[in-house]
């Protein structure tokens, strides 16, 4: 089997694997059961853990995304247990897994449901088990690129198939509250500059964003900022590496 290389936005998943390996090396234990909540897609991150000897389980609410993952696993000869499941009500018993994670899946849940999903991850994880998850930060800009804000921090827009898609955003305080039941092993905020989006925007479209400017300034100053607009368009994510204490 060829080495699995995940997509460039999956760098934090490699960090989670590194953290697990460090823990297992210290405890002199073999890797155990891991669950991915939102495991569908063309290159499922679970494939990386399969290469390192984990017992793999994954759930996804989308049959289409699950089929993509199954096709990939069949082509690569991977034995991964994939099934339909909702992370807001994970179909496994309490303390079933040594590790659990999600990657770019919870961002499509309502803010209330994100809280439910994190609670469910806590439930199915064994004591002292590790978890990795992330949420979109309100530091992202401009928020209008995520669609219309229908509830506080909840933005809706149509995806490429014309279907309504939700993106939920959290302030630093809200994000910290989500994981208050856990020990925070580490926390990091990653900024991805949306260069392609910023390059395509016209001056007229830029001026229409003046009301969303991250700092107060006149329209004259805002117009002058157009030349440096590539520094403004950003997608910011807050990642947590967590341990279950109780």
Decide yes or no: CATH 3.40.50.150 for domain 8-193+235-243: yes
> Residue ranges of the domains in the chain?
8-193+235-243
Average per-residue pLDDT for the chain: 92
Which among 109, 94, 141, 111 has a CA at the least distance from the CA of 38?
A: 109
H-run or E-run covering 124: helix 111-124
Q: How many other CB atoms are found less than 10 A from the CB of residue 128?
A: 13
Burial (CB < 10 A; 0-12, 13-18, 19+), residue 4, is: middle
The tens digit of pLDDT for each residue in 32-56 reads: 899 999 999 888 888 889 888 899 9
Q: How many other CB atoms are found less than 10 A from the CB of residue 33?
A: 18
d(CA 91, CA 98): 16
Beta partners for residue 59, in sequence order: 37, 83
Q: Which of 24 and 11 is assigned the larger pLDDT? A: 11
pTM of the shown model? 0.92
């Amino acid at each position: 089997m060829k080495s699995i290389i995940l997509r460039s936005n999956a760098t934090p998943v490699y960090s989670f694997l590194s953290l697990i390996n460090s823990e297992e090396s210290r405890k002199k234990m073999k890797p155990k059961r891991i669950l991915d909540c939102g495991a569908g897609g063309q290159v499922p991150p679970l494939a990386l853990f399969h290469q390192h000897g984990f017992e793999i389980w994954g759930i996804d609410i989308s049959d289409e995304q699950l089929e993509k993952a199954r096709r990939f696993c069949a082509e690569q000869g991977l034995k991964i247990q994939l099934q339909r499941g909702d992370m807001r009500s994970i179909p496994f018993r309490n303390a079933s897994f040594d590790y659990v994670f999600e990657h770019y899946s919870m961002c499509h849940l309502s803010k209330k449901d994100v809280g439910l999903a994190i609670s469910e991850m806590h439930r199915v994880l064994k004591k002292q088990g590790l978890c990795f998850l992330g949420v979109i930060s309100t530091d992202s800009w401009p928020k209008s690129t995520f669609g219309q804000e229908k509830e506080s921090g909840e933005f809706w827009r149509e995806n490429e198939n014309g279907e309504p898609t939700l993106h939920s955003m959290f302030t630093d305080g809200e994000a910290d509250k989500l994981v208050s039941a856990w020990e925070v092993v580490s926390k990091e905020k990653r900024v991805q500059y949306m260069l392609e989006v910023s390059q395509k925007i016209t001056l007229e479209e830029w001026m229409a964003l003046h009301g969303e400017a991250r700092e107060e300034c006149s329209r004259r100053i805002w117009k002058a900022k157009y030349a440096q607009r590539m520094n403004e368009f950003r997608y910011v994510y807050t990642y947590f590496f967590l341990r279950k204490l109780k």
